[in-house]
Structure formats: structure tokens, C-alpha cells
């Protein structure tokens, strides 16, 4: 699935502008916005940089497009005399294979959370884990690929349905499906089905979903949305039940072993490369 140039520009502009991916650099105005120093990029950031003194490693900068990177020291001297100094922290990107029974939540009284599980099983500093947020969610009974990051722009790009980023799941069904029924399932899923209500989610249409059959009880389901329990509700609408569900890919990123791993710049680039116009 490819985005037309206008949609890609509107959705991914912040992500593209924030990074010079080959060099791992970011824009100064993005850093200022993230820290709440100014409200948005463009005109607001430009005005802030002209009215106040902003230094990068001791050198004054007035252009919001100035490239900065982790380790750079930023000093801000505002017109009212207030001074702020900080060092840019590197964004973190981690891929994990979430087990069943672990919940995508910051706090839970009944289950181990993703963050508790990560601190218990992975060799990452606890302080870094505390900075992370989840890119989308998986329910407690679904296992598989989950991305955690400190980068809000990257997270927004991956989860926004208009970005067209595909998520692929391995589905094991409770009831076997014959050849003709598989064709019917595939046709209906591709067109979208009316999903039954569940908990706080009302009856609603599913996104277009591609089904690739492995056997009468197994298939791969690929979709770009992430509505509540969407894959499970799609098959319920088709008259079946999901027995096991596992996410195996987000964009071009796939599970690579079961151990949590830090993503490289190449991993991040490849995750969105196919969606560039």
C-alpha cells in the first residue's frame, strides 16, 4: 500500500523533518517544542528564536532548521532573564515480543505490565525504560511484536491510520474453514465488515483487511487500522472465533527472535521506506 504524495507529506512531515535519518540528527525547533519552550514549529518557533537567545554548544542559533543531535548542549536565555540549560537525550526505540498475559498498560493490579516485564527480563537501564511509551497496544491475550519508544513523532506516524502502515497478525481460528468459506471470508474482510460491539467500543465497520490462508484454521491478517480488538471482532462478524493471535510485523519490521532488542536507524528507516511515495 502506497500513500499519495499529499497524504504522505501531511502525515509524515514532522517525522521526516525531525530526522536526517542517515546522520541521526534532529531539528532545533522540534526539540524546543517537545520541551514546551514554544508551542509549535514554524512561525512560533521562528519568533521565539529571534526574540530570545538560543545557543547550541555555545553558538547562538536563530534558524529552527538547525540540525542538532544527542549530546548537544542547549542553553536558552529568555527576554525576561530566565535561563535554561539541558543536554539533548537520544531517542530510544525498542522492539519486543510481548508474551500472552502481559498487559499494555502503565499500571495494573491483576497482570504484569509491559514495563514491569521489560525491567525483569531485559538488559536495559531502568531509567531508559521509564522514558518509553508504547506504539499502539496488544490485548493481554495477544502476543507478538510491540514497539516502545521515546519518540512521539515516530509513534504518531506508525499508529495514524492515514499513514497506511500495515500490521500483520498470525491468526489461529477456533473452527476450521473450507475452501469456499475462505474465499467468502477474504472477500468480506477486504470490503470491511460490521464488527459487533465490545465493551466500550460500539458496532462499527472494520478497516479493509487482507487474509492470506495457510490452512483451514490458520491465516495471516494484514490491516492498517487498530480499532479495539479489531482482528478478533472481524472474525466474530464472519461467524468464527480467534483462538490464538500473534502480531508478526509492523510495516517492514518483523520479529527477530524473542529477546527485546534496540532498533537501529536502519530498522527505523526500513519500517517506513515502502510507504514513501
Strand spans (E) along 11-92: 26-27, 53-56, 59-60, 67-68, 73-77, 83-87
Question: What span, in angstroms and rounded, lies between the C-alpha atoms of 249 and 144?
Answer: 8
**Is residue 80 annotated as part of the catalytic site, yes or no?**
no
Question: What span, in angstroms and rounded, lies between the C-alpha atoms of 122 and 45?
Answer: 39
Which of the residues 20, 91, 109, 139 is marked catalytic? 139
Question: What span, in angstroms and rounded, lies between the C-alpha atoms of 10 and 6?
Answer: 6
Strand spans (E) along 17-109: 26-27, 53-56, 59-60, 67-68, 73-77, 83-87, 93-98
- 163: buried, middle or exposed (CB in 10 Å: 19+, 13-18, 0-12)? buried
**31 φ/ψ sector (left φ>0, alpha ψ -120 to 50, else beta):** alpha
| Contacts of range 5-8, beta carbons closer than 8 Å, 24 or more positions apart | 5/277, 7/162, 7/164, 8/275, 8/276, 8/277
Three-state DSSP class for 123? coil
Q: In sequence order, which residues have a C-beta less than 8 Å from that of residue 54 and are 6 or more positions away?
A: 28, 32, 48, 60, 61, 62, 74, 75, 76, 77
Active-site positions read 139
Amino acid at each position: 500500500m502506497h500513500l499519495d504524495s499529499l497524504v504522505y507529506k501531511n502525515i509524515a512531515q514532522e517525522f521526516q523533518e525531525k530526522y536526517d535519518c542517515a546522520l541521526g540528527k534532529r531539528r532545533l525547533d522540534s526539540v524546543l517544542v517537545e520541551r514546551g519552550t514554544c508551542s509549535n514549529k514554524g512561525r512560533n518557533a521562528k519568533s521565539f528564536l529571534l526574540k530570545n537567545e538560543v545557543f547550541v554548544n555555545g553558538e547562538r542559533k536563530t534558524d529552527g532548521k538547525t540540525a542538532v543531535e544527542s549530546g548537544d548542549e542547549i542553553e536558552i536565555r529568555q527576554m525576561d532573564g530566565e535561563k535554561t540549560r539541558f543536554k539533548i537525550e537520544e531517542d530510544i526505540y525498542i522492539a519486543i515480543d510481548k508474551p500472552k498475559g502481559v498487559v499494555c498498560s502503565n499500571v495494573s493490579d491483576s497482570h504484569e505490565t509491559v514495563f514491569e516485564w521489560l525491567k525483569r527480563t531485559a538488559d536495559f537501564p531502568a531509567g531508559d525504560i521509564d522514558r518509553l511509551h508504547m506504539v499502539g497496544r496488544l490485548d493481554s491475550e495477544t502476543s507478538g511484536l510491540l514497539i516502545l519508544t521515546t519518540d512521539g513523532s515516530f509513534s504518531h506516524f506508525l499508529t495514524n491510520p492515514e499513514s497506511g502502515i500495515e500490521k500483520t497478525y498470525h491468526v489461529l481460528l477456533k473452527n476450521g474453514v473450507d475452501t469456499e468459506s475462505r474465499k467468502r471470508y477474504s472477500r468480506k474482510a477486504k470490503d470491511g465488515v460490521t464488527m459487533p460491539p465490545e465493551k466500550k467500543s460500539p458496532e462499527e465497520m472494520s478497516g479493509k483487511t487482507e487474509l492470506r490462508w495457510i490452512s483451514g484454521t490458520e491465516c495471516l491478517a494484514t490491516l492498517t487500522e487498530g480499532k479495539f480488538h479489531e482482528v478478533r471482532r472481524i472474525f466474530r462478524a464472519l461467524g468464527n472465533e480467534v483462538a490464538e493471535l500473534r502480531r508478526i510485523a509492523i510495516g517492514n519490521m518483523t520479529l527477530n527472535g524473542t529477546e527485546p532488542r534496540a532498533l537501529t536507524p536502519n530498522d527505523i528507516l526500513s519500517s517506513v521506506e515502502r510507504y514513501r511515495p
